[in-house]
Amino acid sequence: MWVEEQNLAANIITGRHNFYDAAAGTDFGSDNVLYNRPGHNRLIIGSFCSFARNVRFIMGAANHPMNTFSTFIFPELDANLISKLGMSKADMPVKRDTVIGNDVWIGRHAVIMPGVHVGDGAIIGAYALVTKDVPAYAIVGGNPAKIIRSRFNQATIDWLEDFQWWQYGDDLLTQLVPLLTSVDTTSARQQLEQLVRRQGLAS
């Protein structure tokens, strides 16, 4: 299924061609994005990402107060209680937007915690619990997730981040795909650069 074809909440922002494995009738916004209350923070997804079945994004509304004796969400019992207790939004842990880069692959049952930024081209292993930012083109796994290795050397990563193949239109996909999936990355890079020059596009 395609994420961008779903009826998403206003705070879920997605690029194009993001695939997720799911049973028929699954709703990405409710099944994969948990504790989402628009107004707390956003989930921003790039383009060409792949999400395996049961990937979960935990949103900021899952937060509980941590600087009080109890972490229980008493205001849920009484809407007026928060004002009676003198609590404010500042008393809750504040998380930034969760950002998933472009061409990211997230494995089955992985959990992404609020405020995490996952760089372009990263791979997150199955059942990983991601609590910290993931660099571009890193492979991470475990609970909590840790960097296993980088997919490429730093010079290649820098080139990929500058090239940003995902920015080009769908009309070029038939020419890009054979090069993006070639195991001969040295030749593929040269041909990608030539293709961009022929098209008169900036890289």
Tens of pLDDT, residues 3-30: 888 889 999 999 999 999 987 778 898 8
Residue 175 falls inside a structural domain: no
Most confident of 6-10, 93-97, 100-104: 100-104
Q: Which strands sit side by side in the sheet containing 123-124, from one edge to the other?
A: 19-20, 50-51, 105-106, 123-124, 138-141, 146-150
Catalytic residue, chosen from 17, 40, 64, 109, is 64
Q: Rg (Cα) of the chain, in Å, rounded?
A: 20
Whether the pLDDT of residue 187 is over 90: the answer is yes
Coil vs helix vs strand at 36: coil
Residues sharing a CB contact under 8 Å with residue 178, sequence separation 6 or more, in sequence order = none
Q: What is the pLDDT of residue 47?
A: 97
Say if residues 140 and 122 touch (Cβ distance below 8 Å). Answer: yes
| Per-residue model confidence as pLDDT tens digits over 52-67 | 999 999 998 777 777 7
Enumerate residues 6+ apart whose C-beta is below 8 A from 94: 60, 63
Concerning whether 64 is annotated as a catalytic residue, the answer is yes
Question: How much is the pTM?
Answer: 0.87
Residue 82 lies in a domain: yes
197 falls within a domain: no
**64 domain-assigned:** yes
Total number of domains in the chain: 1
For residue 135, what is the domain's CATH number? 2.160.10.10
